[in-house]
Structures are given as structure tokens and as C-alpha cells.
């Protein structure tokens, strides 16, 4: 029986995370460890789960000889050395979608609270006073909402505020036109266009060099008088000094801020204004968000330890749910097909050309390429290769990897992935696609057309195309107790070389292979395990 792998939880996570991990792992929860204790113990663990406080750096990785995955229960990864993780083949996964609904709803709450002076009226009434006149607000109905950043959270806000009767406009230079159409947002080509038209502005972009101080004095001057602003994304995207000026001058009628330039934030002059609604960075602070984050990170840690796809691995191409649904069958197929080469050839691969044809060429195919390279190296370096380090290890072995996209069909296939692997002597080719049932198929090998669903145990045989060979193979395998599930034969011309591909139910022994190769007109036979 395989020894159960071990996970260390170093910071607080939801109980559902711990429960799920314990179904397959031995889990230790150590929330008050010192740095020295963590460094002493980390060598015993296959997985580490943290939030933002634990420093996962080169020093820690150097002690973590067994570590396969670091799970960040949250979005930010500033505390994790991604380069070191990648070099050591450690998957780093986070949960960027676990709290998106909570962040969306808080942004909407901040928008509505300032529009109707809800927090000011609440504190005023609780202080023992009554005055209805000072709390005159504005409706959001028939107003224009400008969304800066139409990603996951921005698009959720767009959908929901459209139901309030708002006109939705958005600015995001990194989002396709199709996404604007899908979420009913009118695309603005420049930020200035959005600023000039919006009655309300809400920000949903990451904080980068480009977006730091994105909204300052110049931008506020371009806004409508009486504009209202929400920032539940990251502190520092709005210049707080310039926002304070805009609020005091009346150019900005109100602001809702969950994030701040400095956190924790104390004695901020913005907090003194009654038309500013503030919260202490609580966008993810809901029961549901914390459960989602906990369950999501647990699932990703388990997938990483089993060598499966980790949807939100930050040192891998990321896949959203729709992309994963489309690409997962290709990823699984190409990893299997990658394993074939080194089980048929001993010559080191020098060049891998992967050609994507048809609709698949329009997708983000990087993860499919990674999967093929992982499969390619698996027979020769086994547990040392994973999705994270596959390309790195290929480069260290001098393997050049090329990707080519062609939207046209190929040889009658509307979708096809064709691979050419060159060594010093020759070029090996194979191709795969999906059936109508979305099952992966091997459709070409070494120039021979076949139609095979790859299975765990396979037998590849090259023979002369003469009568009796197939029958003799069946007889030998039958005597050896090998059950044939399916058999495919590919050939160019009658009487010349042919290729047989057999799916069998069990592993093929060396003795069985020897007996097969001794059959008349058999050129070679190889057992392949996928």
C-alpha cells in the first residue's frame, strides 16, 4: 500500500478545506509555528497551505525536499517565490475565483450605500438625531455605470447592475470584443471616454505599474460633476490625495472604498467625510467566500499531488471553467500520446514541432503543449516531471519546442493536433483529435492512418503486409494469456510495411514481446504503457 502523503496547513483556512484534504492525506494544522519550526518541519511534507503571512522563499524551498505543491488560500502570491517553485517543479496554486461573488456584491453595496447616504444616515440616527433633508440621495436607475476592468468581478457587476436599469460602459484593453457583448457592456476605447460619460465608476483591475495611480487629478478633472466612485479592487489604483480634493470641491459626489493606499489604514482624512463609505478590505470576508476558497485550494492540492490538471496553478497557464471544459480532453489525450515516443525509440529527441489545425488553433493551446512535453519526458524521468517543470526540463535536455497554429482543416479533419519529433536519425510523427463524443483518439502514427482510443496497455507492431500475420499474432497472444480489446491496422500499399496498434487488457511481458517478434514477417514489436 502506498504511504499517504502529508500536508501542512500553516495558516487559518475553512474547516471544509481540512475535511477534504483528510480524505486522502495526513494533515497537520500548525497555526502558531515560528519560522525556525517551519523550516525544521517542512522537509516532512508533500503539500503546504498558506495565506499571506507565511514567507515561502528560497530558504524554505531548499529545506522542502518532498514538497510538490504550495496552496495559497486566496488570490495574492507576493509571499511565494514563484521562480524558485518552478525551478524545483513545485506547483503553486491560488484561488482567484473563490471570492469573486463576495467582492462583486461588496462593490455594489458600496455603490448603493453612497448613492443613498446609508452609512451616514445610520450613524446620524443612532446618535439620537433625526433629519431627513440632509440625506437626499440619487437613484442608479437610468444612470451610466463605467466599469474599469471587465474581468471576472467586473463582468459580474455588469450583469447585476444592468438589472437595476443602468447603462453599462466599460474600459478594458485586454478583453475581447466578444466579452463586452456577452456582458452587455458598451466598449470604450480609452479610459478618458469612460470617465467623461459615467455617472458612477467602479474599478476592478489588478494593481500593476500601469494601474497604480490610474485615477488621479487629471482623470478626476475629466469626469462629470457629481460622479461617484467605488474601489473594491486594490489600494493605490486611486490617488487618495487627489480623490480627497475632488470630494471637497464637489466634483466627486461620493466614494466607496474597501481598499486603501496603506493597510491597515488609520487617521485617513477621507474617513472624516460623510460622503465617503469605507470598509477595512473585507471583499472576501463572507462565509461562502471562505468556504469556496478552502474547498477550491484543497481540490487543487489533491490534483497536484495526483499529477492531474491544477486549474489555478500560477506557474502554469491558467484556465477558466469554460476553457478547461474545452481543453481538458485535448490535454489528457496529448499527455498520453507524448508517452509513446520514448517507448518506441531510444534516440534523444532534439526538436518537437506541434501543429494545431482547425478550431483548436483559436484556443489558448499552451497547456496542451505542456501536457505533451510532460508525457514525452515521463518514460525517462518519471516522477521528476510535472506540468510545472516540463518545459524547463525539456530545455535542459536541449529539446527545442515549436508551436504552430493554422485555422484551416487538415486532411479532412476539422480539428487536429499533429506532432513531429526529430532526432539525429529520423522524424517521428503522430496526430490526435477528439471523437464526436469528445474522446481522445490517435489518428496517425509514423505516417500510417489509424483510429485508436489510447488505453493504459498497448502493443505497437510493424510487419510486412502479407496473409496470416494477424492470425499468428492473435494465436501467440492468446497462448500468453493476453486479451486483445481492439486492433487497428494501418498500411500504405498492399504487400509493403504495415503498422498494427493493439489495445490490450494487461501489461505485456518481455517474454511475450520476444515471442511476437519471432513470428514470420514481424519487423519489430513494442509494448507501450500510458
Q: What pLDDT, in 10s, does the model give residues 230-284?
A: 999 999 999 999 999 999 999 999 999 999 999 999 999 999 999 999 999 999 8
Categorize the per-residue pLDDT at 217 as very low, low, confident or very high, splitting at 50, 70 and 90.
very high
Per the structure, the count of domains in the chain is 4
Distance CA 433, CA 442 (A): 7
Q: What is the CATH number of the domain that holds 415?
A: 3.30.1330.90
Q: Which of 59, 263, 350, 496 is catalytic?
A: 263
Query: Which of 445, 465, 488 is the last residue before a domain boundary?
Result: 445
Question: Does residue 6 carry a catalytic annotation?
Answer: no
Whether 219 is covered by a domain: the verdict is yes
pTM of the model: 0.62
Range of the domain at 80: 1-95+284-316
Question: Does residue 263 carry a catalytic annotation?
Answer: yes
For 27-58, give the DSSP string: EEE-SS--HHHHHHHGGG-SEEEE-SSS-B-H
Whether 440 is covered by a domain: the verdict is yes
Whether 185 is covered by a domain: the verdict is yes
Q: Which of 72, 234, 260, 457 is catalytic?
A: 234
Q: Is 495 helix (H, G, I), strand (E, B) or coil?
A: coil
Distance CA 147, CA 511 (A): 68
For residues 435 and 465, state if they share a domain. Answer: no
Residues 434 and 484 sit within 8 Å (Cβ to Cβ): no
Q: Where does residue 518 rank: exposed (0-12), middle (13-18), buried (19+ CB within 10 A)?
A: exposed
Query: Which of 445, 468, 500 is the last residue before a domain boundary?
Result: 445
For residues 114 and 249, state if they share a domain. Answer: yes
Distance CA 216, CA 240 (A): 8
Closest CA to 53 of 96, 17, 11, 9: 11
Question: Does residue 260 carry a catalytic annotation?
Answer: no
For residues 299 and 325, state if they share a domain. Answer: no
Query: Which of 445, 471, 495 is the last residue before a domain boundary?
Result: 445
For residues 272 and 145, state if they share a domain. Answer: yes
For residues 30 and 113, state if they share a domain. Answer: no
Categorize the per-residue pLDDT at 383 as very low, low, confident or very high, splitting at 50, 70 and 90.
low
Q: What is the CATH number of the domain that holds 12?
A: 3.40.50.720
Whether 147 is covered by a domain: the verdict is yes
Report the pLDDT averaged over residues 132-136: 93
For residues 68 and 83, state if they share a domain. Answer: yes
Share of the chain above pLDDT 70, in %: 98
Q: What is the pLDDT of residue 1?
A: 46
Cite the beta strand spans of 435-513 per DSSP E: 440-445, 448-452, 457-464, 484-491, 497-504
For residues 223 and 290, state if they share a domain. Answer: no
Q: Which of 72, 88, 281, 457 is catalytic?
A: 281
Whether 450 is covered by a domain: the verdict is no
Residues 132 and 325 sit within 8 Å (Cβ to Cβ): no
Task: Convert the pLDDT of each residue in 285-324 to its tens digit.
Answer: 999 999 999 999 999 999 999 888 888 888 877 666 677 7
Whether 347 is covered by a domain: the verdict is yes
Amino acid at each position: 500500500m502506498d504511504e499517504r502523503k502529508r500536508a501542512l496547513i500553516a495558516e487559518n483556512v475553512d474547516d471544509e478545506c481540512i475535511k477534504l484534504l483528510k480524505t486522502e492525506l495526513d494533515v497537520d494544522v500548525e497555526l502558531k509555528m515560528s519560522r525556525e519550526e517551519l523550516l525544521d518541519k517542512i522537509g516532512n511534507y508533500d503539500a503546504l497551505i498558506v495565506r499571506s503571512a507565511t514567507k515561502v522563499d528560497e530558504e524554505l524551498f531548499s529545506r522542502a525536499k518532498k514538497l510538490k505543491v504550495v496552496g495559497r488560500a486566496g488570490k495574492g502570491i507576493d509571499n511565494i517565490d514563484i521562480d524558485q517553485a518552478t525551478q524545483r517543479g513545485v506547483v503553486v496554486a491560488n484561488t482567484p475565483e473563490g471570492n469573486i461573488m463576495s467582492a462583486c456584491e461588496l462593490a455594489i453595496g458600496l455603490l448603493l450605500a453612497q448613492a443613498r447616504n446609508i452609512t451616514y444616515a445610520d450613524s446620524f440616527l443612532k446618535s439620537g438625531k433625526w433629519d431627513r433633508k440632509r440625506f437626499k440621495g440619487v437613484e442608479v436607475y437610468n444612470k451610466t455605470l463605467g466599469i474599469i476592468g471587465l474581468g471576472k468581478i467586473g463582468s459580474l457587476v455588469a450583469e447585476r447592475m444592468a438589472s437595476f436599469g443602468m447603462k453599462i460602459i466599460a474600459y478594458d484593453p485586454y478583453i475581447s470584443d466578444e466579452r463586452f457583448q456577452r456582458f452587455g457592456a458598451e466598449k470604450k476605447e480609452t479610459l478618458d471616454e469612460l470617465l467623461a460619460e459615467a455617472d458612477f465608476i467602479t474599478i476592478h483591475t489588478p494593481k500593476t505599474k500601469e494601474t497604480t495611480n490610474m485615477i488621479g487629478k487629471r482623470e478626476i478633472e475629466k469626469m462629470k460633476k457629481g460622479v461617484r466612485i467605488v474601489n473594491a479592487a486594490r489600494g493605490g489604483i486611486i490617488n487618495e490625495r487627489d480623490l480627497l480634493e475632488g470630494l471637497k470641491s464637489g466634483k466627486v459626489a461620493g466614494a466607496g472604498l474597501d481598499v486603501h493606499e496603506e493597510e491597515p489604514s488609520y487617521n485617513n482624512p477621507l474617513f472624516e467625510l460623510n460622503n465617503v463609505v469605507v470598509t477595512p478590505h473585507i471583499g472576501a470576508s463572507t462565509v461562502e467566500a471562505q468556504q469556496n476558497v478552502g474547498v477550491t485550494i484543497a481540490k487543487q492540492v489533491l490534483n497536484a499531488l495526483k499529477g492531474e490538471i491544477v486549474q489555478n496553478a500560477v506557474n502554469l497557464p491558467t484556465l477558466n471553467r469554460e476553457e478547461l471544459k474545452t481543453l481538458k480532453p485535448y490535454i489528457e489525450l496529448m499527455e498520453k500520446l507524448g508517452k509513446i515516443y520514448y517507448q518506441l525509440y531510444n534516440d534523444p529527441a532534439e526538436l518537437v514541432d506541434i501543429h494545431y489545425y482547425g478550431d483548436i488553433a483559436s484556443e489558448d493551446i499552451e497547456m496542451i503543449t505542456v501536457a505533451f512535453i510532460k508525457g514525452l519526458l515521463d518514460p525517462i524521468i518519471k516522477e521528476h516531471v510535472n506540468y510545472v517543470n516540463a518545459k524547463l526540463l525539456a530545455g535542459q535536455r536541449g529539446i527545442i519546442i515549436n508551436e504552430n497554429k493554422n485555422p484551416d482543416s487538415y486532411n479532412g479533419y476539422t480539428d487536429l493536433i499533429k506532432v513531429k519529433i526529430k532526432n539525429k536519425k529520423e522524424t517521428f510523427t503522430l496526430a490526435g483529435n477528439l471523437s464526436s463524443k469528445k474522446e481522445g483518439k490517435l489518428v496517425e502514427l509514423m505516417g500510417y492512418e489509424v483510429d485508436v482510443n489510447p488505453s493504459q496497455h498497448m502493443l505497437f507492431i510493424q510487419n510486412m503486409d502479407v496473409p496470416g500475420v494477424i492470425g499468428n499474432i492473435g494465436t501467440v497472444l492468446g497462448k500468453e494469456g493476453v486479451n486483445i480489446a481492439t486492433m487497428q491496422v494501418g498500411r500504405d500499399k498492399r504487400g509493403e510495411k504495415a503498422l498494427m496498434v493493439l489495445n490490450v487488457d494487461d501489461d505485456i511481458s518481455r517474454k511475450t514481446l520476444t515471442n511476437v517478434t519471432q513470428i514470420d514477417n514481424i519487423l519489430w514489436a513494442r509494448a507501450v504503457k500510458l
